[in-house]
Structure 1
Amino acid sequence: MTGYVEPAPHEFAANFLFDEGGLAPFFAADSRVKAGDGSQSAEFLDRGERWVVKLYFQDSNIVHPGNQLPTGTDWRLQEMREFRLKIARHPDEDSVGEQDFNAHLTPRWQGMKTEDKYGNVSEYSIPESIREAVNVKIMGSNIDFDRYQALLQSAAAAVRIRGDYFETPHEYSNVQDAERYVRVQEDASGPVHARDGPIASMGHLLESDRTGYRKVVQNDDDDYGRNLPGYYHTVTLGPRRVREVFPDHALPKEIKHYYAREALAQPDDSPLRHPKIGVSYQVSRWDETLGVSSEDLVQLQRELDQTLLSVLADAGLDIAPTNGSGVFVPDAYFDAVTTEESPEIVSLDVTEIRSTQESVVIRHLADGLSPVQWESLETLVTDGGEVSPADIAEDHGRHVESVRRALRGIEDLVEREYAKVSLRSSYVADLVHQAVKEAEDAVKRAAETGAKAVRTAQQGMEETMGVFIAWAARHDIDIDDALSRRDARMEMRFGNPGQQASRVIREGFRIWEEAGLPTERYRMARVRFNDGSIADAWRYLKPG
């Protein structure tokens, strides 16, 4: 297996729920805090590294249960408190001081109530399978995802709380946030955040125009208003969109290119001068959860790393440097080294997706769309709100079943979910919007040309001129108003010269003759092209 640069862990958040010891860990934390006059501190070793821990308490919004819980357990604590363990790498081994996490320990029992800041009391939802438990909410950074639970156990033991209380997480434990990143030289990362780079392209091509969550950010100014290209560029994709590129992925993700807030103030030799490129898990973008088991964490890291490395490769960066660290910049937590255990790189195929979406739109336009389909597309590209088949039917005076049948005929252009309709991607939306606008312009041109025909007929010309006017509208040819004056030279304005122009002009002459109109008038017409060139019509009517 090819070795690629190994991303580093950045942010991580998870809820670890432990119920095998009931509320014993909570009571133990309370006892130890009281024994230490409000806190306990200790040091411990993990994998040969020195770590420090501090146990302390905070006020709680949990309503005091009285002398006994609804579950029947006696409650002898006079104050409602919650507890925290601040766990960090020893400062002698972490000069930056950002390899740490905070573990927030709160009790859980059936019937537990909480009070908000306005004094409103409500029952806290506890899974029915749990009688009593403790929840440990972990928020940390720059630590491998699979180390948090072991570090929690060691830290608890160091302040004399049994570590085995935190041995077996409940199945409802879940990951809330996680990111893996690399740091890249500032003069090499441009293709990642470019307007046609992978971040922008994935957001444009893979995200529905209105359903689900759509977020593409391209901010090139820092918090102080100074220009810094690529300062904060992100794209967020839900699980369905992610699977269009990574078929075996399940997790919603955010891909981002970003600089530190003070990047421009950093010296040239500082790693913070250079941007991070990261991929993070977005728990709020789906209805499912990711657990904290070893299998879940392996899946999490694999998906984040595979996405990140594939984005870098798509941008043309060498992700397997053989000479030093290549374009990657080591920092306190990112070593910029290659590893043999790397995920397979996946081609993003954004170009292929763009081509496929273009061909779908072109095919439907070429095959012809029904009036109801045109009306549906027109509503989808002009209505910025949530659209349903019923909305489309109401807009155009159609029966809702007619709209549904029309939408079923263009399912590769639109997505239908529940009572909502959307175009398949923002790129498809752009293409359809352009087509709808061109159609509207054509109708407008035809109406204007038709008005000319009416004026012409009113001035005594033959009714058969309408056939010629229809030909002009079909080919987007503008017939000058001089047509209505018998003593003026007719002028036709349309596209570029060439064989296509010759064929169209000859076709127009045939229609003109069949209408019984004066042939010399057409032959002497002036033809004006978009490139500014001018010619006489008769030059295109020569035999051969």
Structure 2
Amino acid sequence: MAVTDYIVPASHEFAANFLFDEYGLNPFFAADRRVKEGSGSQRSVFTDQGGEWTVTLYYQPSNIVYPGERLPSGTAWRLDEVREFRMTIARHGEEDPVGEQSFNAHLAPRWPGMEAESDDGTTHQISVPDGLEEAVNVHVQGSNIEFDRYRRLLQKAASAVDIRSEYFEELHEFSNVQDAERYVRVNRDDSGPVHARDGPIASMGHLLEHDRQGYRKVVQDDEDGHGNTLPGYYHTVTLGPRRIREAFPTHALPKEVKHYYAREAGNLPDDSPLAHPKVGVSYQVSRWDETLGASPESLERLERELDQTLLSVLADAGLDIAPERGNGPFVDDAYFETERTEKGPDPVSLDLTRIRSSQESVVIRHLADGLSPIQWESLQTLVTDGGEVSPTDIATEHGRHVGSVRRALREIDDLVEREYGQVSLRSSYIAELVHDAVEEAREATRRAVEAGSKALEAAERGLGDQMSVFVAWAAKHGVDIDDALSRREARMMLRFGEPGREARRAVREGFRIWKAADLPPERFRTARIRFNDGSAASAWRYLEPG
């Protein structure tokens, strides 16, 4: 097997609007004729790619306003009422025991100026593309069928119920895809890294998503709906076009990446495919202002982007996407089989660690270089205000001139985004880093004030200069001064932020001040040091050379 033989995802959900205008309303009139000839419906069977399919044609009431005897184009309307038609097209039950390889095709007429009536009796005009005279719109919605098979199956199904297949040959350019998903099924013992708190799903939402503007959705639900905890039950991240391009520079389609189980998964044995989760990527039409066509080229692009995203997520989680023996981490089901191909897209290295490091370096650089008071004020507002924030809002809150705020923001444009008069931090991860920095600055100010007051208090109590210095040092680093000066506790406790060089320097400084104040050295040397991350050590270890 070649190195480039990657696993082939399967098609799951799909929905599209197929618009046909080459034969005007002839497909609609033909469906009406066949339904009437069959006393309300028609049924038939046909074959495609060696498999047997069933089709049922039937009608439904319509809320389209009756157009009168003639349409605006002059076409005679000889029907007593307006109906709409549906075809249910499914794989034959003997070949699809699961019964989930099927789709429904809803056929409705289109002409300029057509109207629909709402339940309250009011009417509204139905949107019809400019320049379209008469046509039929076929909305298809199904699952577990390859995207490029829907139109061919529609044609064969129509022919099977005696409607000319050529009616559904040429797509109008306004045809469009509404929903699509590609997936693989992964062994639940292997899928944990996909939905882990530091896995690709959570990381993409954390690192790539804007901290407040636009659509942001990260879901991490581990409850299966039956009161049971099932890790990874429903974890998703949805990213719009701008964010998706940060990870996939050649992509534009908004997508949702998800790890999810069937509702009954927790009660199924390991040998049932449904006991294992799906990892899928779906197209999210509502997340952008553009449309994706339904032409063969558009469907090829759709499948390529979905598959590349899916393979990249799996690879980032450490799963073998090109297993040489057996199924690797994958589980076959009724519609997904562990197959490999050289024709699929190569996965993209998400390199979320690089993105994280890059964002950290941006924050650290600005903090190291020093931020102006206006920049600090702006960042404080952005991390504490959850709504929309404009430069004017920041200026008003802090009594600044709005021009000064705008200039200050321009100098930190790798931390913030300014768009349409609104300001926000570039990602939720940057927001967290900035929030921590702001809180640390506030805490440092509080400690400085407290240290100063403790030193004054010591001076007022008649303690020596060195003792006042130690009291200030203790207040700065969170040392309980009463405990430090008494023997109520067998061992003194010192509290610091993070372990490392800075902590070592602070401990040694404190020890020098402690001895200068004529306090017993052994009490300090035997003190216990605790850090914010929960770790601990004895003070003497930080006083040794090294």
TM-score clears 0.5? yes
The alpha carbon displacement at 1:172 in A equals: 1.1
Aligned length: 526
The AA in structure 2 aligned to 1:157 is: S
1: CA distance, partners of 2:332 / 2:145: 16
Q: State the partner residue of 1:409.
A: 411
Q: State the partner residue of 2:365.
A: 363
> Measured at CA, do residues 381 and 498 of structure 1 come closer, stay the same or move farther in structure 2, by a change above 3 Å?
closer
Q: State the partner residue of 1:516.
A: none
Aligned: 1:82 with 2:95 = no
Matched position secondary structure for 1:341: coil
Q: State the partner residue of 2:189.
A: 187
2: CA distance, partners of 1:327 / 1:160: 46
Q: Is the 8 A contact 1:232 1:258 kept in 2?
A: yes
Which shows bigger deviation, 17-26 or 132-141? 17-26
Q: State the partner residue of 1:235.
A: 237
Q: 1:53 aligns with which of 39, 52, 55?
A: 55
2: CA distance, partners of 1:101 / 1:198: 32
Q: Is the 8 A contact 2:455 2:469 kept in 1?
A: no
> Measured at CA, do residues 262 and 501 of structure 1 come closer, stay the same or move farther in structure 2, by a change above 3 Å?
closer
2: CA distance, partners of 1:366 / 1:18: 62
The alpha carbon displacement at 1:138 in A equals: 0.6
2: CA distance, partners of 1:358 / 1:459: 46
Q: Is the 8 A contact 1:446 1:473 kept in 2?
A: no
1: CA distance, partners of 2:495 / 2:187: 51
Matches within 5 A, 1:330-409: 330-409=332-411
2: CA distance, partners of 1:44 / 1:249: 38
Q: State the partner residue of 1:296.
A: 298
Q: State the partner residue of 1:44.
A: 46
Matches within 5 A, 1:218-233: 218-233=220-235
Q: Deviations over 1:438-477 (max 9, x none)?
A: 1111122223234345556777999x99x97999599757
The alpha carbon displacement at 1:103 in A equals: 0.6
1: CA distance, partners of 2:499 / 2:86: 78
| Aligned residues with identical type, % of pairs | 65
2: CA distance, partners of 1:159 / 1:497: 76
State the Cα RMSD in Å.
3.3
Q: 1:165 aligns with which of 164, 167, 172?
A: 167
2: CA distance, partners of 1:170 / 1:9: 24
Q: 2:203 aligns with which of 194, 201, 204?
A: 201
Q: State the partner residue of 2:12.
A: 10
The AA in structure 1 aligned to 2:339 is: V
> Measured at CA, do residues 235 and 534 of structure 1 come closer, stay the same or move farther in structure 2, by a change above 3 Å?
closer
> Measured at CA, do residues 497 and 222 of structure 1 come closer, stay the same or move farther in structure 2, by a change above 3 Å?
closer
TM-score (structure 1 length as normaliser): 0.88
> Measured at CA, do residues 371 and 97 of structure 1 come closer, stay the same or move farther in structure 2, by a change above 3 Å?
same
> Measured at CA, do residues 212 and 522 of structure 1 come closer, stay the same or move farther in structure 2, by a change above 3 Å?
farther
Q: Is the 8 A contact 2:218 2:236 kept in 1?
A: yes
2: CA distance, partners of 1:370 / 1:96: 65
Q: State the partner residue of 1:109.
A: 111
The alpha carbon displacement at 1:148 in A equals: 0.6
Q: State the partner residue of 1:129.
A: 131
> Measured at CA, do residues 398 and 87 of structure 1 come closer, stay the same or move farther in structure 2, by a change above 3 Å?
same
> Measured at CA, do residues 16 and 406 of structure 1 come closer, stay the same or move farther in structure 2, by a change above 3 Å?
same
Q: State the partner residue of 1:150.
A: 152
Matched position secondary structure for 1:251: coil
> Measured at CA, do residues 101 and 509 of structure 1 come closer, stay the same or move farther in structure 2, by a change above 3 Å?
closer
1: CA distance, partners of 2:506 / 2:47: 84
Which shows bigger deviation, 185-194 or 260-269? 260-269
TM-score (structure 2 length as normaliser): 0.88
The alpha carbon displacement at 1:355 in A equals: 1.0
Q: State the partner residue of 1:329.
A: 331
Unaligned runs of 5+ in 2: 485-491, 531-535
The alpha carbon displacement at 1:395 in A equals: 2.0
The alpha carbon displacement at 1:410 in A equals: 1.2
1: CA distance, partners of 2:217 / 2:499: 44
> Measured at CA, do residues 121 and 339 of structure 1 come closer, stay the same or move farther in structure 2, by a change above 3 Å?
same
The alpha carbon displacement at 1:297 in A equals: 0.7
Q: State the partner residue of 1:212.
A: 214
> Measured at CA, do residues 248 and 470 of structure 1 come closer, stay the same or move farther in structure 2, by a change above 3 Å?
farther
Matched position secondary structure for 2:177: strand
Q: Is the 8 A contact 1:450 1:469 kept in 2?
A: no
The AA in structure 2 aligned to 1:136 is: V
The alpha carbon displacement at 1:289 in A equals: 0.9
The alpha carbon displacement at 1:508 in A equals: 9.2
Matches within 5 A, 1:343-492: 343-452=345-454, 480=481
Q: Is the 8 A contact 1:472 1:479 kept in 2?
A: no
